[in-house]
Every structure is written in C-alpha cells, then in structure tokens.
A and B are shown apart, each in its own frame.
Chain A
Amino acid sequence: MSILNNNPAAVDASAPELLLDQHVKYIQALDTKKNDLEYWLTEHLRVNGLYWGATALQILGHPEALDQDQIVEYLVKCQHDNGGFGGHIDHDPHILSTLSAVQVLITYDRLDAINVDKVVDYIISLQNEDGSFSGDSWGEVDTRFVFCAVMCLNLLKRLDDKRLDIPKTIEYIVRCRNFDGGFGSSPGGESHAAQVYVCVGTLTILGALNHVDADQLGWWLSERQLKNGGLNGRPEKLEDVCYSWWVLSSLSMLRRSHWIDSEKLTKFILESQDTETGGIADRPGNMPDVFHTNFGICGLSLLGYPGLVAVDPVYCMPRHVIQRIGLTDKH
C-alpha cells in the first residue's frame, strides 16, 4: 500500500516547484537559531513546534530527518504528574501541548513511553458542566480545546470513557454555530475558519456532522478563497497559507473540497515558499516559520500535490498513521 497521495492533482505549469529538500533542511535547522529573538519568545510553544516540524517532515517523506528517540525523551520530560504536558520543560500543563505531544508520540508509535491513563484523566478533568473544555486548570474556554480533548481521547482510543459527556460536548459545539453557517470560539463569537475546522473536526470524530448545514457552511468556506487563490479566515481579511489547512480540511470533512479552485490555491502556497532559506511564510514575500511550513505542506498534500505523503484531514497527521491505529472508518 502506498502512503503517497493516490491521485496526484494536476499542477498549474506556471506555479513554482515544491522545494522539498530545502524545507527538510529548514526544519532541521530550526533548533540552531539560538540567536533569534523569536526563538526564546516562543519557548511556551516548543512542544507544538515539534509537532509542526515532525508532521511536515512526515508529509515531505523524510521522517528520519529528526532524531525520534531524542524527541520522545524530551516529550516524556514535559509530562506532569497530573498527566498533562507543558509547552516545554518547567511549563504548566496545557491541553494544546498535550495534544501535540500525543500526536507526535502516536506518529512515532511510542505511546509506551508515557502514562496514557494519566493523560486521559487530565483531559477529562478539563470538561466543564456545559460540555465545553478549558485549556488548563485556569479556566480559559475555547472551541479549540474541545477539539483537542476529543481528538486526543480518540487517538488514545478512550472516547468511550464514561466520564466524558459526549451529548453535552456536541451541544456546546452546536451552540457555537453562527447565522452564517460557521463557528466561533464561544457561543456568539465571530465565525473564523480555524474555529470551523475544530468544530467540524469534533463533530466528525463524534459522528455528529448531521448538526452542520454542509451546503451553507461549504459555501461560507468557499467564499474564503480570494482572487489570488489564497484563503482568508474571515470576510475581508488577508489571505494566509495556514487557512489552506483550516478551510480545506473542513471542506474535505464536508466532502466539498472540489468547490474551490485547487490549482490557484496550490500556486498560492508554492509562491509563499522562501526560495533562499526553505520554509513557507503566511503569504508570498514574508518570512517563513515552522507553523506555516507545516500547514502549507499539509495543505498541498490534501490538494493531492504529487510526491507528498497523504495527510488525514481530521487529525492533521499522516494518513498511514491514522490507518495503522484503525481510525479511518469514521470519515
């Protein structure tokens, strides 16, 4: 069985090529940028950064480019007694870094290195009475955290945990649905493509997509494509490579990704590559970073760009990994 995209899409002849080797080198070099101000300011995102880098390399077909044993060893150190993972050693546990850690460990098939029961306890402890989830014990609530929780539990095959209130979880997500068909971060919050991704992802995993008007939402998502091919996250905002992922994955879960112009989007992502340093920026001409590099590459994979490893639209992990753990039957 091939792990590559089955039906590579046609690519506009005028589009630049994918700088695959340069992107691999860019990601490998990230941890050597010790003099960058950005580097230490993003310390709290170190575990998320590992997930972005490791996933991009998987999709590029170069999983060996990072030392997996060292990464596992590091992640283990980020787990706290309560089961959650911090964004870095000595940082408080948070659901965002917990999901990233679990995603990387599953990609590497190394769940044996951590205490899974405790991760489950931690996630469950963050559910609120109304079905929502807090990001940590300090109480910030956001639909992103619901998705982190549900995805994490499903990846760990613990969605059947009796302590999880699935009907309330669904109810909360539905309360965050807006008049334009999209979803926000909380009930009444403005529709935003990234929040749409997390809400549609949650409903997909919970088998509750019937709560979505797929035609209305599909149209709202399609409206995010601008004339230059790029996608924005909200009306009248600038296009940004990361929305290639949030919008396209959502359309893909709704089975409507063919509603947008994929050739133009492919070209837009490729034009956002940094031809000197490797890596992908938010839009052409800007500085690349690992976040946009990952979501640009995953977007290209979802678009069927030739030679890339297939990505799963729900989990944003290699599809062969999701198949290996037996989770492809639901979508």
Chain B
Amino acid sequence: MSSDEDIPFHKQPKWADIVPIPQDDGPNPLVPIAYTKEYSTSMNYFRAICRSQEQSERAFELTTIVINLSPSHYTVWHYRQTLLKALNKDMTQELEWVQEMIDEHPKSYQIWHHRQVVVDHMSASAFPAATVSTTPSNLHTVPMIPYLELSESQQKAAQEAVQTELNCIAQALVEEPKNYHAWSYRQWVLSHFGLGPWWEEELGYIDELIAVDVRNNSAWNQRYFVVTLGPKGLTDEVLEREVQYAKTKIERTPNNESPWVYLTGVLRKASHPLSEIKAFCEGLLQKPNANFSPFVHSTLLDIYEQEAKQERRADSLLKAKEEAIILAEKVDTIRERYWNWRKNQLKAIAVEA
C-alpha cells in the first residue's frame, strides 16, 4: 500500500481532476438517500468515473472502497469486472481479495457470483475450451472442461484450482453450514472443471459435515448431487452403500427429515420399490426413540398403500389406514388435514376380500 493510506482517497492528488457527481434524488421525497459522509463522498466520485467509464487503476481502487462500504451494490461489482479485464489485473490477487470479502459478507449474492466470474475467466485462459458434458449421467448441459483429456500437468493445475475453490467454500461453510450461495457455487466448481477426482473426494467432505450435524439438509442435498450426477452414477453398488448410510443415520436420529427424503429419493431414482425398506421401518417401530417419528409412519403409510394397490391386499390397506390415523391424531397433528386426506385416498383402493 502507498504511504497515503491514511489520507482520505479523494484528497489524494490523483483524484484532483474529478468533479464528483452528487446523488440525483429528483423531486421525489419518497426515496431520498441519506448517506454517511464517507459513503456519500465515495459514491459521488464513483458516479463521476462510472459515467465517463474511466478505465484506470484509481477507478479500480475506488470500486474496492465502495464495495467495502456497500457489498451488495451490484453496479459497482459490474464495473469492477470490466476493469479487471480491461486493466489485465492479477486474478490470483483478486481471488485473495474476494476471500477476504467472503469472510466479511458470506451471504452476499454479488460476492459469490464475482468469484465465479473470476474463476471462469482464469480457467478459460488456462485450459482448453469447455464442452458440453456427454457423460452417461448427463451431468449438465452447461459447458465443462474436458478434464480426462487434459495433459498430466494441466490435470494437476485443474486439481489445484478446484482445491483452492473448495477450501474457500469450506471456510464459509464452517461459519454457516447451510449457506445457499456457497453450496450453489460449490456445485458449479465441481461441474465446471469436469470429471476429476474431486467428485469422489467430495463424499468424504460431506461425511464430515453430516458427522458434525446430521440435520444439515444442504449436505444431504450435496450427497444426492454427487451420488446421482457424478461421473460414477448411481450403480447398484453405490445404491446399496447409500441405503446403508442413510439407514445408519436414521437409526441415530429417526425424527430427521433429511436422511428419510434421501433414502426414499435414491431408491426412487434407481427405480427400486420402497418395499425394500419395509422391514427396516417396521423394526424402527419397536425402538422407543423412533416410534414417535412422523417419518417412520409416513414411509410405512407409503409402503402399505403401494402394497395394497399392487397386490390388492386387505391387510396392507388396513395397516395403511392405521398409519394415517396415527399420523393425524398422534405424531403429526399439525398436518392433521393432510393425513386425513391421505386416509380418504385409501378408500379408492380395491383389495381382495
């Protein structure tokens, strides 16, 4: 930093030629903007350089100042992106700065998008042109880097780039494990760099998060993302492993929506019938910590209903009805009307006497 660090930026000689433009609120008293002095000064200078679309180092510095004061001001971010490219700025340095901004404002849409823009720009010059994925899992229709076709040194570079991003995101997720922007960006990073080893490694990371908080729905969603959309796809072997994984977590906290939705989700995705987990659910009913869980009963209701429909079994229909009654009257009374509707739906099922 220069020695004039302590002098307000607008009193430094390099800004002497700029005529600041004050806010035009128009005649409308409904939306007058009242600024603090510092913000107001910065904004007046920003309006001036923005209007002339000045592309200079001082303009770049000013965007840093304004963003620090108002990190959601999307117009300033746009301007900064133009300047980054026009001035051929050091992108690695930019990423370090963005990291600091993320630490301060982890929930800003603009910051995460900016990081994506920078990484996209860097990878475009470092790697061959991204192509649309044609993997069996049909991962994405967005372009991705052909990782498997890269040279060894390029693969290493890609792995390093991915690792830097995943570390940055992980840091934000320590503070807020359900940060939606961070997770969205994480999915973008995994996909953007193609089918590298980070897909498998991601499962280890998710395990860690779920071990810390088994109710972290974002982590469960990421697990589904990796397992069903990753390069390996949802093979029989993977399905069995995931079913076991979810069951273990359910046994520990049966009243936890996330692993239940995950368990039934992977089964449906693989076109396996829910009846595969019938014995597991019935077993849970014998456990004192599980028999009050609405999810045990609702899954059993689904299973018995399906059984009654497909096998025309009167005993299954009766059991389904019992589950609906337990849900409506005992374990999930706030959704009484939903469960009563489910109970009424059962009437339409024809079974053999």
Q: Do B75 and A235 have beta carbons less than 8 Å apart?
A: no
Q: Does B34 contact A (CB under 8 A)?
A: yes
Return chain B residues, CB-CB under 8 Å to A55. Answer: none
Q: Does B221 contact A (CB under 8 A)?
A: yes
Q: Do A179 and B269 have beta carbons less than 8 Å apart?
A: yes
Q: Do B257 and A186 have beta carbons less than 8 Å apart?
A: no
Bound Cα distance from A171 to B266, whole angstroms: 22
Minimum CB–CB distance from B270 to chain A (whole Å) comes to: 11
Q: Find A73's partner among B28, B218, B258 (CB 8 Å cutoff).
A: B28
Q: Does A287 contact B (CB under 8 A)?
A: no
A94, A184, A191: most-surrounded residue (chain B CB, <10 A): A184
Return chain B residues, CB-CB under 8 Å to A237. Answer: 178, 217
Q: Do A88 and B265 have beta carbons less than 8 Å apart?
A: no
Residue of A nearest to B30 (CB): A31
Return chain B residues, CB-CB under 8 Å to A235. Answer: 215, 217, 257-258, 261
What is the predominant secondary structure among interface residues of chain A facing chain B?
Answer: loop
Minimum CB–CB distance from B215 to chain A (whole Å) comes to: 4
Known: A70-B29, A74-B28, A235-B215. Contact between A39 and B335, CB under 8 A?
no
Q: Do B184 and A186 have beta carbons less than 8 Å apart?
A: yes
A140, A175, A218: most-surrounded residue (chain B CB, <10 A): A140
Q: Do B26 and A89 have beta carbons less than 8 Å apart?
A: yes
Return chain B residues, CB-CB under 8 Å to A271. Answer: none
Minimum CB–CB distance from A225 to chain B (whole Å) comes to: 6
Q: Find B187's partner among A39, A86, A189, A264 (CB 8 Å cutoff).
A: A189
Q: Number of contact residues on B: which range applies? A: 35 or more
* Complex interface: stretch among B52-60, B66-74, B167-175: B66-74
Return chain A residues, CB-CB under 8 Å to B24. Answer: 89-90
Minimum CB–CB distance from A42 to chain B (whole Å) comes to: 8
Minimum CB–CB distance from A41 to chain B (whole Å) comes to: 6
Using a CB-CB cutoff of 8 Å, which residues 187-220 of chain B contact chain A?
187-188, 215-218
Bound Cα distance from A90 to B35, whole angstroms: 15
Using a CB-CB cutoff of 8 Å, which residues 225-267 of chain A contact chain B?
225, 227, 229, 234-237, 258-261, 264
Minimum CB–CB distance from A94 to chain B (whole Å) comes to: 7
Bound Cα distance from A260 to B47, whole angstroms: 50
Q: Do B334 and A261 have beta carbons less than 8 Å apart?
A: yes
Return chain A residues, CB-CB under 8 Å to B75. Answer: 44, 86, 90-92
Q: Do A140 and B338 have beta carbons less than 8 Å apart?
A: no
Q: Do B217 and A190 have beta carbons less than 8 Å apart?
A: yes
Q: Do B180 and A192 have beta carbons less than 8 Å apart?
A: yes
Q: Do A31 and B31 have beta carbons less than 8 Å apart?
A: yes
Q: Does A43 contact B (CB under 8 A)?
A: yes
Return chain B residues, CB-CB under 8 Å to A163. Answer: none
Residue of B nearest to A47 (CB): B31
Contact with B along A21-55 (1 / 0, CB 8 A): 00000000001001101011111111000100000
Bound Cα distance from A67 to B28, whole angstroms: 9
Q: Find A44's partner among B31, B50, B74, B336 (CB 8 Å cutoff).
A: B74
Q: Find A67's partner among B30, B72, B142 (CB 8 Å cutoff).
A: B30
Q: Do B29 and A225 have beta carbons less than 8 Å apart?
A: no
Q: Do A94 and B334 have beta carbons less than 8 Å apart?
A: no
Q: Do A31 and B29 have beta carbons less than 8 Å apart?
A: yes
Using a CB-CB cutoff of 8 Å, which residues 44-95 of chain A contact chain B?
44-46, 50, 66-67, 70-71, 73-74, 77, 86-92, 94
A44, A234, A235: most-surrounded residue (chain B CB, <10 A): A235
Contact with A along B317-348 (1 / 0, CB 8 A): 00000000000000000111110010000000
A130, A190, A237, A258: most-surrounded residue (chain B CB, <10 A): A190
Q: Does B117 contact A (CB under 8 A)?
A: yes
Bound Cα distance from A67 to B73, whole angstroms: 27
Q: Does A139 contact B (CB under 8 A)?
A: yes
Q: Do A236 and B257 have beta carbons less than 8 Å apart?
A: yes
A37, A42, A43, A261: most-surrounded residue (chain B CB, <10 A): A43
- Identify 7 new A-B residue pairs, CB closer than 8 A, beyond the known A90-B23, A236-B216: A66-B30, A178-B224, A179-B261, A190-B217, A190-B221, A237-B217, A259-B335
Return the 5 tightest CB-CB contacts between A and B, nearest first: A34-B34, A179-B265, A190-B221, A259-B338, A235-B217
Could you write out 28 A-B pairs with CB less than 8 Å apart? A31-B32, A40-B35, A40-B70, A50-B31, A70-B27, A70-B29, A88-B33, A90-B75, A91-B73, A130-B141, A178-B224, A179-B261, A179-B265, A180-B265, A186-B188, A187-B140, A188-B187, A190-B221, A222-B335, A234-B178, A234-B217, A236-B258, A237-B178, A258-B337, A260-B335, A261-B334, A261-B337, A264-B334
